[in-house]
């Protein structure tokens, strides 16, 4: 410093290497903080642009669909989807119950025609009855010299056959009567259910918009509209989350 013409005071004002070394770390921290601040500012600006783009996209899509309040539109369209699904379910249920009703009516008619024992069954039971009576009379009336030790056996077999034939006829007729009563009971229970389903279907028809084609087509359209509205709501929620993050 003396060679440069600087005095002792100027030499004392120049910081030493030790002091300069002690300042390197704080200066590096300041530079890193400045870089982070610049990066954060750039990120915030990018998020602002993204939020603005999302808001523009949301407003354009909402205007194209003629939707004011998206939440209300989702609620209304969701209710329509639920009603259309229920309407289709009622059609399927009513068709199934009508098939069951037709099947029960046919079964009832068949059972009603069979209240009397069929000729084939009656002939079989009659044959058993006749043979039983014959054995019974043979065992009772024929002398022991002819029947021998088989007399009592023939009497018992004849008595059993006669009783079995009579009991079989009564059991068959009772079984048919029980089946017929069960069929008629099911028909009585099914009728009010069919009527209730029809009334519910008519009530839904009164609430649903008219026209639009078959129910399956209308349901598909409503489901697609609901999906689009839910996408709009997700878009707006994303925009709100970004704005909240940078606030």
Alpha carbons 135 and 147: distance in angstroms, whole number: 11
Buried b or exposed e, range 98-109, using 16+ CB within 10 angstroms: eeebeebeebbe
Residue 69 DSSP symbol = -
pLDDT tens digit sequence for 170-191: 666 677 778 888 888 999 999 9
Q: Which of 120, 127, 114, 124 is nearest to 175 (CA)?
A: 114
User: Is the per-residue pLDDT at 232 higher than 90?
Assistant: no
User: Is the per-residue pLDDT at 92 higher than 60?
Assistant: yes
Average pLDDT for residues 21-43, to the nearest whole number? 77
Residue 15 phi/psi, 5° resolution? -70, 150
* CA distances in angstroms from 102 to 106, 108, 171, 222, listed in the order given: 6, 10, 28, 35
Average pLDDT for residues 1-11, to the nearest whole number? 46
Quickly state the pLDDT bin for 7 (edges 50, 70, 90): very low
Average pLDDT for residues 138-148, to the nearest whole number? 54
Q: Which of 86, 78, 80 is nearest to 197 (CA)?
A: 86
User: Which class for 158: exposed (0-12), middle (13-18), buried (19 or more C-beta within 10 A)?
Assistant: buried
Alpha carbons 76 and 233: distance in angstroms, whole number: 14
pTM for the predicted model, two decimal places: 0.59
Average pLDDT for residues 108-135, to the nearest whole number? 64
Q: Under a CB-based contact definition with an 8 Å cutoff, are residues 215 and 87 in contact? A: yes
CA 92 from centre of chain: 14
Give the model's pLDDT for residue 6: 46
Average pLDDT for residues 42-47, to the nearest whole number? 79
Mean confidence (pLDDT) of the chain: 76
Quickly state the pLDDT bin for 166 (edges 50, 70, 90): low
Residue with the bigger pLDDT between 168 and 148: it is 168
Give the model's pLDDT for residue 144: 52
Within 10 angstroms of residue 91's Cβ, the number of other Cβ atoms is 14
Identify the residue whose tokens are 């999906």.
227
* CA distances in angstroms from 169 to 122, 126, 164, 176, listed in the order given: 7, 9, 9, 11
Residue with the bigger pLDDT between 14 and 138: it is 138
Alpha carbons 203 and 212: distance in angstroms, whole number: 18
Alpha carbons 175 and 183: distance in angstroms, whole number: 12
Helix H or strand E segment including 217: helix 215-246
Average pLDDT for residues 78-89, to the nearest whole number? 93
Average pLDDT for residues 50-73, to the nearest whole number? 82
């Amino acid at each position: 410093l003396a060679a440069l013409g600087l005095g002792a005071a100027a030499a004392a004002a120049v910081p030493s290497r030790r002091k300069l070394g002690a300042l390197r770390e704080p200066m590096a921290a300041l530079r890193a903080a400045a870089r982070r601040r610049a990066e954060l500012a750039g990120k915030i600006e990018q998020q602002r642009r993204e939020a603005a783009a999302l808001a523009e996209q949301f407003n354009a899509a909402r205007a194209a669909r003629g939707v004011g309040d998206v939440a209300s539109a989702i609620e209304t369209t969701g209710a329509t989807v639920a009603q259309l699904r229920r309407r289709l379910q009622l059609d399927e249920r009513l068709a199934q119950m009508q098939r069951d009703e037709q099947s029960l009516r046919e079964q009832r008619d068949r059972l009603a025609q069979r209240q009397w024992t069929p000729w084939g069954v009656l002939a079989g039971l009659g044959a058993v009855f006749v043979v039983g009576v014959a054995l019974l009379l043979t065992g009772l009336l024929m002398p022991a010299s002819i029947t021998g030790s088989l007399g009592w056996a023939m009497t018992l077999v004849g008595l059993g056959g006669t009783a079995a034939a009579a009991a079989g006829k009564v059991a068959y007729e009772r079984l048919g009567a029980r089946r017929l009563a069960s069929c008629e009971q099911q028909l009585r229970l099914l009728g009010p259910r069919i009527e209730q389903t029809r009334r519910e279907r008519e009530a839904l028809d009164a609430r649903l918009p008219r026209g639009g084609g078959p129910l399956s087509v209308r349901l598909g359209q409503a489901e697609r509209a609901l999906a689009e509205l839910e996408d709009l709501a997700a878009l707006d929620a994303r925009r709100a989350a970004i704005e909240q993050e940078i606030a």
